[in-house]
Each structure stands twice: as structure tokens, then as C-alpha cells.
Structure 1
Amino acid sequence: MRQALICSICFILFFVNRPLLTNAENEQNDLYARRMELYQKIEYVTNIPWYYLAAVDQYERNIRQSRKDLPKAEGLTGIYFSPEVWVGLTNPNRTDENPLSIEFFAGMGADGDGDQKASLKSDADVLYAFARHILNYGTDHDNIKLALWDYYKRDKSVSIIIGKAKIYKHFGHLNLETHAFPVPLRSNHSYKNTWGDARGWGGRRIHEGTDIFASYGVPVRATSYGIIEMKGWNKYGGWRVGIRDINNNYHYFAHLNGFAKDLHIGQVVEPGQMIGSVGSSGYGPPGTSGKFPPHLHYGMYKDNGRTEWSYDPYPHLRLWERQERQRAKK
């Protein structure tokens, strides 16, 4: 009897002490699961690896979020086809869902769920239609890149999608939204909102980021899951690193004292991973340092499929700092 009581108490304590997921977290996890199921179903039919399909889907979802000329994604998939592209440019029926007539008019619409319809409202149909475009070229890496370039006609779009595919393949799942603060929370650091302030060195320009002041050598960490897109010297930023995340954001780390060992372009990183250390490099030819107090310049840029622009990272830094402190308490 006593042993049974002890087991019951341990059982209760186990569940009481477990971190409970909020409804929003449960819904998000369910969404990731349903998307992965869709990607893997299309992979089974087409032999296109799921992580390429996920990368295209995520890329399109992000550009739809950041552009006013495209409708926001409502279903599982973020891929967008205009009605005329879906049914065929010369098709007089803009709501056509007949796969045969759509094919006759050279539309991209296809039946991916087996209901004999090619519907823009079906996630399986939409993803399968894009997969069929890729199949016209092949399912290996190089031919997938050719298919993407032929569709987007933009090298940067292809590069971003291929980078996303590498990230998804590396981690093997879709839930890659966690972030970390750029420097250890216990380090002696300070920052305030300086985005948009005037800068004079090198001509009149605005400050495209937030300066985080810290001592020489304080570790600089990746703030997101992503891929190293750039590493090297710039006369303004000194030794710097650029990381592209799965949401088309480019994270810029500048004025570094040096890089983490073996850090290289094309490397996949995760939040909190060390990529370098705080320094005061920049404002001159390679090797220039000490023209200002040591600090990390942290910038964020968004690509919308057409162009890329800077936006204020300060609110995100505050949020990530708060979230990381909350995770440390668990």
C-alpha cells in the first residue's frame, strides 16, 4: 500500500513539474506536423526530397507576408499561383478545376489529392503542381536548382531556397523558430535603440542596426537557425558574418574581433552557437581596429523576392533577451 502511494505521488509530481505547452504551442506543433505529412506525401509520389518542398513553401510563405501585392497564405502551404497561371493564360475559365482542360491551356494546376480536380484551395494540389514543375528538370540537387531559377528568374531567390533546404535537411524538422540573444546574457553588455541614427564615416548614411556594447572577446552567438551566407572583411563593418534564417531574414554581425574556429560559408548554425567575438574592427582597410569602443553591430534585413531592406532589430533583441531569460528559469 505504501509503495503504491509513493508511486502515485511520484507520478503526480512528474506531471506537475513538466513544462506545460500553451494552446498556441500545441496548435503550432500540430501545424508543423500536418505540413511535414504533406511534404512527405508529395515526396513519396515525386521522389523530390521533402526538405526542398519545405524550403520553397517557406520561402513563398515569407514573401507573401512581406508584400502587399500578394494575398496572405491561408492554408497549409504558402505557395502562390495566380488564377491565370493556374488554369492557363489563354483559358477563358479562370475558375477551371478540370485537370485535362488546364493541361490543354498549359496551366500549372494539377490534381495532387486524387479527387479528379485541380483546385487552388487544395494544399496537396498546389504543392504537387510546383513539384511537377521541378520534375520537368529532375530530382537531383543541380536540376532542382535549374528548375528554381527557371521559375523565379532570380539568383538570390534560388540561393535562399537552397539554403533553407540545407537547414531543414540538417535538423530534420520544421520547428526552427527559437532565437537567442547575440551575446551571453550574463556578460557585461548594454544596448539601446539606435536604428536610423545618422552616421558620417564613409558618407552620409543611417545606422542600419543596434550596437551592443561589450568587452573585447565576449562571445558573439547566432541568433537563429540559419546558414552562413557571408564571412569576411568590409571597410565599414570590419570582420563580419551574415546568417540567413528560414524566414528570409538576413542577420548581420559586424566589428568582430575574430571568427569561431572553422566557421565557413554554407555552414548551418543554431541559436546560441558561437560565431565570433566582440571587437572594434572596421572603418578602414583589412585589419583596421580600435577606431571606436568595442561593440557588436547587429542588423536585420528582409528579402521579399524582389529586393532586400533593413529594419529595426531592437524590438526583436528585447524579445529574444526576455525569452532566453524565461527559458533559463525552467
Structure 2
Amino acid sequence: MRYKILFFILALSLVFIPVPIQAASPEKSTAEMLARERQVLFEHMQVITGTPWYYLAAIDQYERSIHKKPKKNGDASASSGLTRKTGIIFSPERWCGFLNPNPGDTNPASISFFGGLGKDGDGDGKADPDNDLDVVYTMASYVSKFGYTEDDIRIALWNYYARDKNVEIVSELASLFRHHNRLYLSGSAFPVPLHYNYSYRSTWGDPRGWGGRRIHEGTDIFAGYGTPVRATKHGVIETMGWNPYGGWRIGIRDVDSTYHYYAHLNGFNKKFKIGDVVQPGDVIGYVGSSGYGKPGTSGKFPPHLHYGVYRDNGKTEYSYDPYPLLKRWEREEYKAKKKQK
């Protein structure tokens, strides 16, 4: 009875709680409002299960990044009148149980009997994988079984995903959301300040020979030694140090789980270290010509920033062309500067 009352209060709050949004474009207002609604859901589930809201938010955000579109489950959600606002997806085998003869089972008792994870999160007697309350409650309950410390939660994540990179990304997203205490993190910056001299063109996919035949996994932005290098998105510093190919390099995981790779640096901004949170425009290092050898090797090519982006699909990570992003961020920053004049 106690849980049913909590679920009822939760359902009411999700429907009626006011979400203040400052005046903005319709697209931004909608995205910000949806993000706030999801955060309210995660915060309520923390009260009920003890699982930190920012970890639930991180799992949801990671699931969004590895699934191109919100799951429709064969349009089941449409037929049931439900519109998913979260991105967490359970396979039928996990939700209903691997030995369950009914892959569409929504009966909590039979799901439990067959070892499924699915739970009733809103007290309606059904464990529906298309119902946000049921899905988030199920995930929160699963994580809470392992405990509530950072290590406990990382163990829960590894047991669920069985991949170290997934655990690392979710943990980084959790620290990002915890730091800002909000989910809606927008904004971007071009990697180098626009008032510096620089040039670049699309070079992603070009052949490279040092260290063996390979393709160029990024865009080179040529600029003078010491030109500031900036974080392009909100994110967490994942890697920092020497790489034989990239020299002094920094890797940042952003709020959409994309990995941003900054290489051939002349040095780092000493205020930052691995695990720190950065925002668009933060100076993280400086243009150089390091790389292609042992630590400290420099000068084998003109100074430039190698900028790459990598997407994780839940199973592997792959490079894609950053040039369109760079052109967009450059254009948006120029427009913003003109408006300020």
C-alpha cells in the first residue's frame, strides 16, 4: 500500500508539476521542458528506490545515444496511448525473462517467476516496457540491488552492460549531471577562438602512413603555436596525456556520449585533469606539433590541432567526419558575435 501511494503521488507530480522555462526558441523550450520532466521522474525514483537520480539520468542519456530513435516496440506504445519520454530500453528477454514463453508479458507475477526484470512502477498492475514509470522504476530497482556507493553502482552497470566502456561513459555522464544539477546542457564553441588566424578543410578519411597504413580520423585545424584550444561541448575529460600518434592529447566525452579528440597539443591547461567537467569555450590546451614518436617528440609537421569525434553504439566506438560540426559551430559563433554588436 505504501508503494502504491508513492507511485500515485509520483504520477500526479509528473502530470501537474510546473516546469518554469525562460523565453527561448520553441525547439529549445520543448527540449528544456522535456529534460526537466525527465529529471523530475528520476528524482522521484531516487526517493522511492535510493538510486541516485543522476545515474538514472546518465543511463537514460546513454541509451538515447546508442539508439537512433525512441523505441516504438512495433507501435505498441502508440496503440496503448503512451508517449515515451525516456530512452531506456529493455529487450523482451530481459524484461519478461529468458524462459518466458510470452515475450509480451506484462504480468509482474509471471515476469518475476521467469526471472524477468520488469516491474510495475505506477501501481496499475502491469509491468509495461512502454511505460516510462515502469521502465525507470525497473532500472532503479535493478541498480539498487547492488548497493548505493559509486563502486556498487559501477558493478551494477557492468552486470547489466557487460562492457567496461559502457560503464565508463555512464559514470562520466552521471558526474556531468551531478555537477550541473540539471539535464539540459546546450551550447557549443569552435575549437579555436575565431579572432586567431587558422585554416582548415575536410580531411577526414584521407590516407595516413606513419605507424602503418590508416585513414585520417579527424580534421586538421592549422594555427600558430600556442593558439588556445577550447572545449566544444559540455563534457568530462576522459583521457589526457601522451599518445604516439596524437602526441599530447585530450579526450572529452560530451553530454551526448560523443568522444571529442584533441591532438598534437603543445601543452595542457594545468587547471584541468582527468575527470573534470568542462563547458563550451573552456581553454583546455594549446596548438602544437607533438606526436609521431616517443613522449616529447615534436616538430615533425606544421603546428595544428587534430580534431576528431567518435560515436559509441553500445558495442564499439567509431570515427565520423567532424567537418560539418566544425562549420556549423563556426557559423553559429559568428552569428552570436554579430548579435552582440
Distance 1:138 1:176, change over 3 A: same
Q: How many residues align?
A: 311
1:51 aligns with 2:60: no
Partner Cα separation in structure 1 for residue 266 and residue 297 of structure 2: 11
Matched, 1:167 2:176: yes
- Say if 2:221 and 2:307, in contact at 8 Å, map to a contact too: yes
Are 2:246 and 1:243 equivalent residues in the alignment?
no
Picking from 331, 336, 340, the partner of 1:322 is: 331
Report SS of the residue matched to 1:299.
strand
From 222, 247, 257, the counterpart of 2:231: 222
**2:230/2:282 contact within 8 Å kept:** yes
User: Which of 41, 44, 52 is 2:44 aligned to?
Assistant: 41
Q: Distance in 2 between matches of 1:188 and 1:109?
A: 56
Equivalence for 2:307: 298
TM-score under structure 2 normalisation?
0.87
Matches within 5 A, 1:117-266: 117-266=126-275
Are 1:64 and 1:71, in contact at CA under 8 Å, matched by a contact in 2?
no
Other structure's SS at 1:241 match = strand
Q: Distance in 1 between matches of 2:139 and 2:23?
A: 38
Structure 2 contact 252–260 (Cα < 8 Å) conserved: yes
**Alignment partners' CA distance in 1, 2:27 and 2:70:** 25
SS state at 1:65 partner: coil
Deviations 1:201-221, CA, capped at 9 Å, x for gaps: 222111110000111111001
Cα distance in 1, alignment partners of residues 44 and 123 from structure 2: 12
For 1:139, give the aligned amino acid: Y
In structure 2, what is the Cα distance between the partners aligned to 1:178 and 1:210? 21
CA distance in structure 1 between the partners assigned to 2:173 and 2:23 by the alignment: 30
> Which runs of no fewer than 5 residues in structure 2 stay unpaired?
1-21, 78-82
Shift of 1:131: 0.9
CA contact (8 A) 1:248 1:304 kept: no
Percent pairwise identity: 57
The match for 1:8 is none
1:107 aligns with one of 112, 116, 121? 116
**144-153 or 173-182: which moved more?**
173-182
Residues 36, 66 of structure 1: CA spacing in aligned structure 2 closer, same or farther, 3 A cutoff? closer
Q: CA deviation at 1:67?
A: 12
Instruction: Please give the alpha-carbon distance, in whole angstroms, between the structure 2 residues aligned to 1:27 and 1:171.
Output: 20
Deviations 1:238-272 (A, max 9, x none): 11111111212110000101000132111111111
Question: How far apart are 1:158 and its partner, in Å?
Answer: 0.5
CA-based RMSD = 2.0
Structure 1 unmatched runs, 5+: 1-18
**2: distance between equivalents of 1:203 and 1:222?**
30
Residues 4-48 of structure 1, C-alpha deviations (whole Å, 9 max, x = no match): xxxxxxxxxxxxxxx952221121111111111111111110111
Match of 2:35 in 1: 32
Give the Å deviation of 1:160: 0.7
SS at match of 2:129: coil
Q: Residue 116 of structure 1 aligns to which amino acid in structure 2?
A: G
How far residue 66 of structure 1 moved from its aligned partner, in angstroms, is 8.5
Distance apart, 1:296 and its partner CA: 0.3
Distance across 1 between alignment mates of 2:205 and 2:306: 13
* Aligned match for 1:22, one of 22, 25, 33: 25
Contact 1:67 1:304 in 2 (8 A): no
| TM-score, scaled to structure 1 | 0.90
CA contact (8 A) 1:280 1:295 kept: yes
Q: What is the CA-CA distance between 1:71 and the residue it aligns to?
A: 8.7
User: What does 1:65-80 align with in structure 2 at a 5 Å threshold?
Assistant: 65=68, 75-80=84-89
Paired residue for 1:92, among 71, 78, 101? 101
Runs ≥4 residues deviating over 3 A: 70-74
